[in-house]
Amino acid sequence: MGNETLMQYFEWYLPADGGHWRRCAAAAPALAAQGITAVWLPPAYKGAGGAQDVGYAVYDTYDLGEFDQKGSVATKYGTRQEYLEAIAALHAAGIQVYPDIVLNHRIGADGTEQVTAEESDAKNRSREISGAETITAYTRFDFPGRGGKYSDFRWNWRHFDGVDWDAAKRRSAIFQFDGKEWDAGVDTENGNYDYLMGADLDMGNPEVVAELDRWGSWYLETTGADGFRLDAVKHIRSDFFTGWLSRLRQTSGKPLFAVGEYWKDDLPTLLSYLDACRDCMSLFDVPLHFNLYNASRSGGNYDMRTILDGTLLAARPDRAVTFVDNHDTQPGQALASWVDGWFKSIAYALILLWGEGLPCVFYGDWYGIPHDNINPVGGDLAVLLRVRAERAFGARRAYLDDPNVIGWTLEGDDAHPGSGLAVILSDGAGGQKQMTLGPRHAGATFAPVTGGGSAVVLDETGSATFSVEGGDVRVYIRV
């Protein structure tokens, strides 16, 4: 068995031409040949923005580009049929499919209701700052364009905890509905971070939980998805996904890999969440992203000995999905924290060749981002993917012992002939490092496949002096 490698198969500014699913299907064989074993696809259901919606402004989760709703049949990415064909093409290429699942909120309601609500203090949501008032809330979702196909469930204000818009007074505030509490078991920023946007689902309402169970089963049966990328988990009570995933794993009989987006650069918070949700999912390694980002912005002055400090990869490698950038960190987006171009190969070497964690390659790094004139990372990334697939096995020896030049080796194993590798990188000046791959490789020749330079011959203990240019990464494999 080879190494698993995930790819996030979209960026924010993909052209809204309805062609993404078709292009994804066409790319499937090439992705598999490159060593990609699973893809994270964008939200596939109709958003409030119709054919322009990236997918996070969720309107109707049963409309995968099939019904004339929000101004179009297709989503930004294509039609339901094209979506199902893309998944079939990915499966035919041996690639697993993890769709993006957005359950926190709904946007683009079909109608309003008069609801009694109290205003929450935006900075401390547990605090009410008004008496009860009647607001006009966008909370009726009837889906007239779908006409009850697949489900006759209709949403009303009782299924939500609150909204941020009073349509009658045209006033924006955080309104909590009468008789509701913001859910516990969410992030504590702003006192209680249950509310993010739109009409916030009340996961304490049994009708909501039952409907999301029905929808989850329908979605799995319809699409054949193999797992999930779960959006905005810090805004959803932590026990919700424990139950939802457990029931879907049981009814589908599939392991259903899941990775949650808990966007916080704070390891203790991520570890607490894993405990609270009883390890029901992996999490994106947000702290590692910020270490990579900061290193890329430090002009060589980052202490590379600390690059893994405070990361999920160091603390819980079994639950870490590592990544360099994503659709939220790319330029122009809400969480923009784009890793500088010169550092991309170094960052990808770290996540792809470390030997632990499930790495996720960003579409915008693989294909570039024309919207912002960002070029693909290029040849190094393809080489690193190939090395990961064929060579990145066995025990690791780490040399995180210098502020600039760090390295590690993977010893390789018997199941993968010729496997094993050495990585040396620097965020500052070039340098050298004595590293060992173990007696398995005594006398072998290792040649660099990135970063130039010449081959080295290992001594009888399997050691050699490896070198790297300034601000670069050199990966050596056995020849």
Least distance from C-beta 208 to Ca ion, angstroms? 9
Least distance from C-beta 137 to Ca ion, angstroms? 15
Least distance from C-beta 269 to Ca ion, angstroms? 17
User: 10 Å Cβ neighbour count for 310?
Assistant: 16
The catalytic position among 60, 119, 231, 411 is 231
Least distance from C-beta 1 to Ca ion, angstroms? 38
C-beta of 195 vs 338, nearer to Ca ion: 195
C-beta of 135 vs 174, nearer to Ca ion: 174
Return the amino acid letter for 395.
A
CA distance 109 to 126: 26
Least distance from C-beta 433 to Ca ion, angstroms? 48
C-beta of 80 vs 106, nearer to Ca ion: 106
C-beta of 204 vs 376, nearer to Ca ion: 204
Residue 207 known to be catalytic: no
CA distance 304 to 188: 31
Least distance from C-beta 72 to Ca ion, angstroms? 28
Half-sphere exposure of 276 (CA within 13 A, CB side): 20
DSSP output for 154-178: -B-GGGEEEEEEETTTTEEEEEEET
C-beta of 181 vs 309, nearer to Ca ion: 181
C-beta of 63 vs 194, nearer to Ca ion: 194
Residue 239 known to be catalytic: no
Residue whose Cβ sits closest to Ca ion: 204
Question: Rounded to 5 degrees, what are φ and ψ at 393?
Answer: -135, 160
Least distance from C-beta 194 to Ca ion, angstroms? 4
Sites of contact with Ca ion (CB under 5 A): 104, 161, 183, 194, 200, 202, 204, 235
CA angle 172, 173, 177 (to 5 degrees): 120
The label of the residue with tokens 């056995």 reads 478
DSSP output for 333-349: STT--PPPGGGHHHHHH
The catalytic position among 60, 261, 380, 427 is 261
Half-sphere exposure of 95 (CA within 13 A, CB side): 31
DSSP output for 14-67: --SSS-HHHHHHHHHHHHHHTT--EEEEPP-SEETTGGG--S-SEEETT-SS-S
CA distance 370 to 24: 17
C-beta of 202 vs 211, nearer to Ca ion: 202
C-alpha 361: how far from chain center: 10
Least distance from C-beta 197 to Ca ion, angstroms? 9
Give residues with Cβ within 8 angstroms of 351, minimum separation 6.
288, 313, 322, 323, 324, 357, 359, 360
DSSP output for 355-390: SSSEEEEEHHHHH-BGGGTBPP--HHHHHHHHHHHH
Tokens of 424: 């040396």
Return the amino acid letter for 371.
H
C-beta of 202 vs 365, nearer to Ca ion: 202
Q: Per residue in 271-305, is it b (16+ CB within 10 Å) or e — as a string?
A: eebbeebeebbbbbbbbbbbbbbebbeeeeebebe
Query: Catalytic residue positions?
Result: 231, 261
